[in-house]
């Protein structure tokens, strides 16, 4: 299939693109390589995908096999659609590009409006006039806000976001629903839960904690360590996204209508939302202890109050994704962190510290 992947140089986008190429699909990738974290890190991911060159805006680059075409561009750029995407016809569109990060949104709100709102609107408008078989887009577990009921289910209320990032992701879900209703688009939203693993984002806890422990640096432990996170290994996430992209949901009969998957989010509807997590949350202190055991080094912890825009716990109910697509996360936190730390040490082996 011919698939458009936005955010292809990002953490999840890179792994997904790699999997799609290995499965023989043709990929058109878009990423702006912004400086939210080091662009060199994103370029290194692209090099793993066979794109090894100097990147200029709005210029096409391809791998040797010509199975992966990359363009450096903002998704909010009209030039991208008028000059490049309108010449293509995609079977599937996977929209992962967005300005990430909860805390960054507090000081840089305009970036989120431009990328997450205007950018997603442009994708929907493109799909309106160039409808793919399916549009899959990235939402976030942050839409659940301070929901006290855990694990989070897709039918839980999400009207009270506690960060601008979460608000933009909730807006994406509403826009997607509207376009699906108005124009008959087949749309699937994926609420990701704390993804980690090799090539992970440097601004996320697994990366920050590992770097600090290996370098004997202090770790700020927010909410005094009373945090619970549904850490989900990247291979499990990639498998889940791949299934949603390339397979049709399994239609199941439920005469009693007692499944949330067969009530509000029926598999026969064109608009669906799924949680994609591990569904096995870990206490933050236990997560750090696992890194300590693997690295054979002790963490220097500094207790801190809760950060603005953060939540105490995340925990995914993944029953709907399991029912419809056979999703079954299998990587334990111990195995996942061993793989991540192994990659981390290898990637930074050229430096005197990590």
Residue 118 within a domain: yes
DSSP string for residues in 269-323:
SSEEEEEES-S--EEHHHHHHHHHHHHT---EEEE-PPPTT--SB--B--HHHHH
Q: Look at residue 306 in the predicted model and tell me its pLDDT.
A: 72
* Residue 76: pLDDT over 90: yes
Residue 38 within a domain: yes
User: What is the rounded CA–CA span in Å between residue 260 and residue 265?
Assistant: 7
Per-residue pLDDT reduced to its tens digit, 318-340: 999 999 999 999 999 999 999 99
Sheet holding 26-31, edge to edge: 60-62, 68-72, 26-31, 2-6, 92-95, 134-140, 187-192, 271-276
* Cβ(152)–Cβ(316) below 8 Å: yes
Q: Look at residue 261 in the predicted model and tell me its pLDDT.
A: 65
Q: Look at residue 222 in the predicted model and tell me its pLDDT.
A: 79
* Cβ(20)–Cβ(242) below 8 Å: yes
Q: Look at residue 257 in the predicted model and tell me its pLDDT.
A: 46
Q: Look at residue 352 in the predicted model and tell me its pLDDT.
A: 44
CATH number of the domain bearing residue 133: 3.40.50.720
pTM: 0.93
Residue 304: which residues within 8 A CB-CB, separation 6 or more?
Answer: 220, 221, 222, 223, 224
* Residue 224: pLDDT over 90: no
Of 47-51, 63-67, 224-228, 301-305, which gets the smallest average pLDDT?
Answer: 224-228
Residue 16 within a domain: yes
Residue 242 within a domain: yes
Q: Look at residue 304 in the predicted model and tell me its pLDDT.
A: 77
Of 86-100, 149-163, 246-260, 298-312, which gets the smallest average pLDDT?
Answer: 246-260
Provide the strand spans (E) within the chain.
Answer: 2-6, 26-31, 60-62, 68-72, 92-95, 134-140, 187-192, 195-196, 218-221, 228-229, 232-233, 271-276, 282-283, 300-303
pLDDT tier at 227, thresholds 50, 70, 90: confident
Cα pseudo-dihedral 306, 172, 121, 187, rounded to 10: 150
Residue 112 within a domain: yes
Catalytic position from the list 61, 126, 144, 165: 165
* Cβ(180)–Cβ(134) below 8 Å: no
* Residue 197: pLDDT over 50: yes
Residue 142 within a domain: yes
Q: What's the rounded mean pLDDT across residues 76-100?
A: 95
- Selection from 190, 198, 140 nearest residue 168 by Cα: 140
User: What is the rounded CA–CA span in Å between residue 51 and residue 82?
Assistant: 24
What's the chain's length in residues? Answer: 354
Per-residue pLDDT reduced to its tens digit, 255-299: 444 455 644 445 447 999 999 999 999 999 999 999 999 999 999
Per-residue pLDDT reduced to its tens digit, 145-156: 988 788 999 999
Of 73-82, 173-182, 221-230, 279-288, which gets the smallest average pLDDT?
Answer: 221-230
* Cβ(247)–Cβ(325) below 8 Å: yes
* Cβ(9)–Cβ(44) below 8 Å: no
Q: How many percent of the chain have pLDDT more than 90? A: 79
Q: How many percent of the chain have pLDDT more than 70? A: 92
DSSP string for residues in 59-109:
-EEE-TTS-EEEEE--TT-HHHHHHTGGG---SEEEE------STHHHH-H
Per-residue pLDDT reduced to its tens digit, 202-214: 999 999 999 999 9
CA distances from 148 to 130, 182, 195, 273, 285 (A): 41, 34, 22, 20, 21
Q: Look at residue 150 in the predicted model and tell me its pLDDT.
A: 86
Q: Look at residue 251 in the predicted model and tell me its pLDDT.
A: 66
* Cβ(257)–Cβ(266) below 8 Å: no
Residue 61 within a domain: yes
Q: Which residue has the tokens 């000081």?
A: 107
Q: Give catalytic status of residue 26 as yes or no.
A: no
Owning domain of residue 141: 2-193+233-279
Per-residue pLDDT reduced to its tens digit, 107-117: 899 999 999 99
Q: Is 223 left (phi over 0), alpha (psi -120 to 50) or beta?
A: left
Residue 58 within a domain: yes
Look at the chain and report how many structural domains it folds into: 1
Is the omega angle on the peptide bond into residue 151 within 30 degrees of 0, that is, cis?
A: yes
Tokens of 292: 């300590």
Q: Look at residue 17 in the predicted model and tell me its pLDDT.
A: 98
* Residue 167: pLDDT over 70: yes
Q: What's the rounded mean pLDDT across residues 167-180?
A: 97
* Cβ(28)–Cβ(49) below 8 Å: no
């Amino acid at each position: 299939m011919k698939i458009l992947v936005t955010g292809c140089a990002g953490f999840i986008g890179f792994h997904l693109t790699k999997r799609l190429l290995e499965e023989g699909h043709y990929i058109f990738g878009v990423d702006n390589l912004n400086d939210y974290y080091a662009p060199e890190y994103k370029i290194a991911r692209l090099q793993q995908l066979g794109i090894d060159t100097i990147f200029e805006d709005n210029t096409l680059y391809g791998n040797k096999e010509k199975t992966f075409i990359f363009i450096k561009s903002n998704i909010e750029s009209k030039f991208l659609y008028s000059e490049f995407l309108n010449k293509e016809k995609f079977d599937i569109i996977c929209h992962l590009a967005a300005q990430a990060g909860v805390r960054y949104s507090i000081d840089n709100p305009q970036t989120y409006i431009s990328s997450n709102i205007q950018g997603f609107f442009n994708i929907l408008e493109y799909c309106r006039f160039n409808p793919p078989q399916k549009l899959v887009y990235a939402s976030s577990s942050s839409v659940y806000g301070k929901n006290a009921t855990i694990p989070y289910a897709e039918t839980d209320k999400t009207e009270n976001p506690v960060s601008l990032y979460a608000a933009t992701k909730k807006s994406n879900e509403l826009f997607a629903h509207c376009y699906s209703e108005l124009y008959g688009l087949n749309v699937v939203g994926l609420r990701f839960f704390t993804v980690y693993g090799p090539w992970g984002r440097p601004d996320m806890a697994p990366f920050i904690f590992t770097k600090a422990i290996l370098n004997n640096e202090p770790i700020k432990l927010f909410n005094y360590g009373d945090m619970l996170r549904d850490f989900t290994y990247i291979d499990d996430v990639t498998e889940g996204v791949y299934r949603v992209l390339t397979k049709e949901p399994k239609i199941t009969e439920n005469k009693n209508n007692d499944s949330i998957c067969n009530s509000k989010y029926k598999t026969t509807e064109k608009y669906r939302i799924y949680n994609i997590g591990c569904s096995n949350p870990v206490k933050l202190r236990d997560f750090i202890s696992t890194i300590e055991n693997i690295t054979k080094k002790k963490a220097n912890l500094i207790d801190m109050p809760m950060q603005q825009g953060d939540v105490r716990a995340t925990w995914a109910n993944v029953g709907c994704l399991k029912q419809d697509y056979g999703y079954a996360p299998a990587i334990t936190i111990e195995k996942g962190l061993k793989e991540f730390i192994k990659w981390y040490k290898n990637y930074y082996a050229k430096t005197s510290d990590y």
